[in-house]
Amino acid sequence: MLKDRLKEARLNAKLTQKQIADMLQISQPYYAKWEKGERNPKPDSIKKLANILNVTSDYLQGRDDGLEDVIEVLKRKTLSEDEKREIVALLTKYLDK
């Protein structure tokens, strides 16, 4: 699960393995082992990866609640406080049907 989500998130972020490895100050072959499932990153590395890839640690580890896609769309937008309140109201109205 981690290896697949890691690769998917990296591709979505349009980053290479080398770029991420450089940001983490590790070698590209070492990083590649994470994506191949040959090794697992330590918890602190998972947090750093999540920040680099703009996802949550839970998402990378397969512990998300299935709402990551919705959250990702919202994160890509710069919303005013009024817009945020409007979205919450719309979601609440939609889900209360």
Answer whether residue 25 shows pLDDT above 90: yes
Question: What are the start-end ranges of the H helices in the chain?
Answer: 2-12, 17-24, 28-36, 43-53, 57-60, 68-75, 81-95
Q: What is the pLDDT of residue 67?
A: 76
Provide mean pLDDT across the span 49-77. Answer: 84
Which of 42-51, 70-79, 81-90 has the least mean pLDDT? 70-79
What integer pLDDT is reported at residue 39 of this predicted model? 96
Output the pTM of the full model. Answer: 0.66
Beta-carbon contacts of residue 50 (< 8 Å; ≥ 6 apart): 56, 57, 59, 60
Percent of the chain scored above 90 by pLDDT? 72
Span 16-28, mean pLDDT?
A: 98
